[in-house]
Amino acid sequence: MVFSIISKIEVALRVRLVEALLIHGEPLVLQDSSIFKEKKRYWQNMATVASEIARSNDVFIKHNFDNHDGEVPVWAAVEVLSFGTLSKIIKNLKTGTGSSYSILASNYQYRSKKGNLVKPSQKMLASWIQGVSVLRNMCAHNSRIYNRTIHTTPEILDVDKITPPPAHNGLYQILLAMKYLRSSDEEWTVFVNAFDKLIQNNNGVVSFVAMNLPADWKEHLSV
């Protein structure tokens, strides 16, 4: 259940990132250092990008190696990059009106305390991606996610914070990051209802404390 919704979040993020990068009209846009802020970090990230592309056995990567002199367009490159690498690329994009980051972030706007739609900062968006990435890897390796400290700290919106704060991050904090990164309201609502049903079917066995869930968790996770 959790891995399935994360997969949808991941696909949506990759598509949205490619669309945002293609405003520059260049299939090899990842090779353009001018759209990134810190050049040293850019080259560090590109070394990781090159390594992950080189490790790929996907047919579409081999096609570009064999037929396009090894030049891999952004839509193919993003397909094989890890969530962590995507997070680093996003965090280093230049910002400002009309920038790739601004276009990407517009997909993840949230309501401020004043009720205005606000785009997340790069630090905030990257923290959400990192949090979901950690949970994704735990699910992929069949690791337990119940009653467990999850060593990542996604930035949580003030309206969703628990008072007093928990001693450690658990499933609740990552579920919020997943909500913020949701692929669509409809898909997320289906997941929340299924998660709620799972808890109800195991009433008396499942502990809210073990997942860091507040009593009104569904209100926070609903859209």
Q: Secondary structure of the chain: what % helix, strand, coil (to 5)? A: 60, 5, 35
115, two tokens: 């009720």
- As a whole number of angstroms, the distance between CA 2 and CA 9 comes to 11
- As a whole number of angstroms, the distance between CA 6 and CA 25 comes to 29
Sequence-separated (6 or more) residues with CB below 8 Å from residue 220: 159, 160, 176, 214
166 neighbors 217 (Cβ within 8 angstroms): no
This prediction's pTM:
0.91
Q: Which backbone phi and psi does 95 adopt, to 5 degrees?
A: -110, -175
- As a whole number of angstroms, the distance between CA 90 and CA 100 comes to 9
- As a whole number of angstroms, the distance between CA 207 and CA 98 comes to 46
Q: 174: part of which helix (H) or strand (E)?
A: helix 171-180
In the chain, where the domains are located: 2-108, 111-221
Instruction: Going residue by residue through the chain, which has 223 residues, state the pLDDT in tens, using 9 for 90 and above.
Output: 899 999 999 999 999 999 999 999 999 999 999 999 999 999 999 999 999 999 999 999 999 999 988 899 999 999 999 988 999 999 999 999 999 999 999 999 998 878 889 999 999 999 999 999 999 999 988 898 888 888 888 999 988 988 877 767 789 999 999 999 999 999 999 999 999 999 999 988 888 888 888 889 999 999 9
